[in-house]
Amino acid sequence: MDPVNASLAEIHDRLGAIADGEVADYIPQLASADPRTFGLALVSMSGHCYSAGDIDEPFSIQSVSKPFVYALALSELGPAEVSRRVGAEPSGEAFNAISLEPGTGRPANPMVNAGAIVTTSLVPAADPRDRFERILACLSAFAGRSLDVDEDVYRSEVETGDRNRALAYLMRGAGSLSGDVDETVRTYFRQCSIRVRVADLAVMAATLANGGVNPVTGDRVIAEPVAVRALAVMATCGMYDTAGEWLLRVGLPAKSGVSGGLIACSPARFGIAVHSPPLDRAGNPVRGVVALTELSQRFALHLMHQPGRHIATVTEVTTALDQPSFRARTPGERAVLDREGHHIVVIRAQGVLEFTETEHLLHALRESVPDAPGWIVLDLDRVTRIAVGPATMLGSALAGLASTGHELAIAAREPLLDPVADPAPWTPFRSRAEAVAWCEDRLLATTAAQPSG
């Protein structure tokens, strides 16, 4: 068995023995859930799914829907409008607490019921039916397949949902919820009744962890800044009144639901989901909490954990004396290059350039580029991406070198750096060989103009 499946299977077999917790019993469909049901699924950034246990059991998504509908509202309205209507502070209270900010009536956050009801009401739509269809389409895009509604769960939620109705009336009274209370609450109940399997939740979580692109379908579901916001709110508010303890012990954005679903997102690594109906007193699935605590420790997933750099960034610092181009040269030119080639410094970097890697590259530039004006080849052929801020850092460092008289050549198959000035302070080439040859030509032209003594 492959090691990831084996880890999940081992956790499943061992934690299956935990008998703590109570299955939610406010509606018959949840009360009848088998407390032994226990499934785990993990979806990686390459879209591979790993799983163990009861993975074919359908269940209602319940509160695990909340971060996804929040992401939908953010996508449609933008962060400013959404924050005007719902906060982002952990409430420290139960999921169904009365949560109204003094003065504004704004619910504390979109992960508790009050905030989720407001969030649902914010999804722009022609009518309530259209609003729910948008929510269902969005959650389906997150899951990578068409989801449907468990109508029995929905009916029961409507019948028993007085506390949520009461919350909605209070919020309307306070001015933070507009529109028809009964319709809004019904849309929220329908959203909670969307039917999923544990692997669906893992794909949905993986989509958030992957910056909004579903790693299975390859479709962009939401913009990256929206995914970041949803993850941030999950990190601080996703586990209700145990959110602080969760961040301490597990250190991953997560969301639980009353049917026993639990998702956690490890940014740029994977999404994971657990289904196990017995809940602790905060309403979080007991086995899910233990499973995630163990997985986080085993694979060092805590967000505050310092992962170390994956690969060396600067892989080569050399000069055209040691690594000349292959361009044919006359004996006279060759003699000049043999004498002066050390004025052409070649620096090669690789991988993704985030802040730390770029800082490292800039340090290498400072160390290896002499003060006297010369030529610099930056070989970025093996750089796969430069983050926006780091690109600006690198661009301005290169502009600084150009302003002190250096001539710069950048080798990259695709343009990675936007020019910081017009004309750009560097010349782009598609290969390192062309870049070095160009610098040699420039060097030969200068020495021809002023023969060295």
Question: 94 by DSSP, 3-state: which?
Answer: coil
* Catalytic site includes residue 274: no
* Catalytic site includes residue 154: no
Q: For residue 314, what are the β-bridge partners?
A: 349
50, 66, 149, 314: which one is catalytic?
Answer: 66
Please give the backbone phi and psi of residue 371, each rounded to the nearest 5 degrees, phi first. -65, -40
d(CA 371, CA 208): 47
Least Å distance between CB 206 and ligand GLN? 21
Q: How far apart, in Å, are the Cα atoms of 244 and each of 145, 252, 289?
A: 33, 11, 13
Closer CB to ligand GLN, residue 53 or residue 257? 257
* Catalytic site includes residue 240: yes
What are 373's two structure tokens? 């004006």
Rule CB under 6 A: is residue 246 a binding residue for ligand GLN? no
What are 269's two structure tokens? 């690594």
Closer CB to ligand GLN, residue 116 or residue 272? 116
Rule CB under 6 A: is residue 115 a binding residue for ligand GLN? no
Q: Is the bond preceding residue 423 a cis peptide, omega within 30 degrees?
A: yes
What one-letter code names the amino acid at 341?
G
Least Å distance between CB 347 and ligand GLN? 54
Least Å distance between CB 414 and ligand GLN? 45
Exactly one of 5, 83, 96, 236 binds ligand GLN (CB under 6 A); which one?
A: 96
d(CA 85, CA 74): 11
Closer CB to ligand GLN, residue 62 or residue 313? 62
d(CA 289, CA 274): 9
Least Å distance between CB 6 and ligand GLN? 31
What are 346's two structure tokens? 């070649």
Closer CB to ligand GLN, residue 257 or residue 288? 257
Closer CB to ligand GLN, residue 187 or residue 214? 187
Order of strands across the sheet that contains 254-256: 49-53, 39-44, 270-275, 261-266, 254-256
99, 188, 286, 346: which one is catalytic?
Answer: 188
Q: Which residues of 216-255 are buried (b: 16+ CB within 10 A; e: fewer)?
A: bbeeebbeeebbebbbebbbbbbbbbbbeebbeebbbbbb
Least Å distance between CB 241 and ligand GLN? 12
Rule CB under 6 A: is residue 157 a binding residue for ligand GLN? yes
Q: Tell me the number of residues near ligand GLN by CB under 6 A.
A: 11
Exactly one of 90, 257, 324, 428 binds ligand GLN (CB under 6 A); which one?
A: 257
Rule CB under 6 A: is residue 164 a binding residue for ligand GLN? yes
Site string (265-304) toward ligand GLN, x via CB under 6 A? ------------------x---------------------
* Catalytic site includes residue 258: yes
Of 236, 222, 164, whose CA–CA distance to 193 is shortest? 164
Q: Which residue is nearest to ligand GLN (CB)?
A: 63
Least Å distance between CB 106 and ligand GLN? 19
Rule CB under 6 A: is residue 192 a binding residue for ligand GLN? yes
Q: For residue 254, what are the β-bridge partners?
A: 264
Do residues 188 and 201 lie in contact, with contact meaning Cβ atoms separated by under 8 Å? Answer: no
Closer CB to ligand GLN, residue 95 or residue 270? 95
Exactly one of 7, 113, 350, 358 binds ligand GLN (CB under 6 A); which one?
A: 113
Residues whose CB falls within 8 Å of the CB of residue 49, separated by 6 or more in sequence, listed in order: 41, 42, 43, 199, 202, 203, 216
Closer CB to ligand GLN, residue 157 or residue 440? 157
Our CA angle for 141, 145, 149, nearest 5°, is 95
Least Å distance between CB 112 and ligand GLN? 9
Exactly one of 37, 63, 266, 313 binds ligand GLN (CB under 6 A); which one?
A: 63
Site residues (CB under 6 A) for ligand GLN? 62-63, 95-96, 113, 157, 164, 192, 257-258, 283
Q: Where in the sequence numbering do the catalytic residues fall?
A: 63, 66, 188, 240, 258
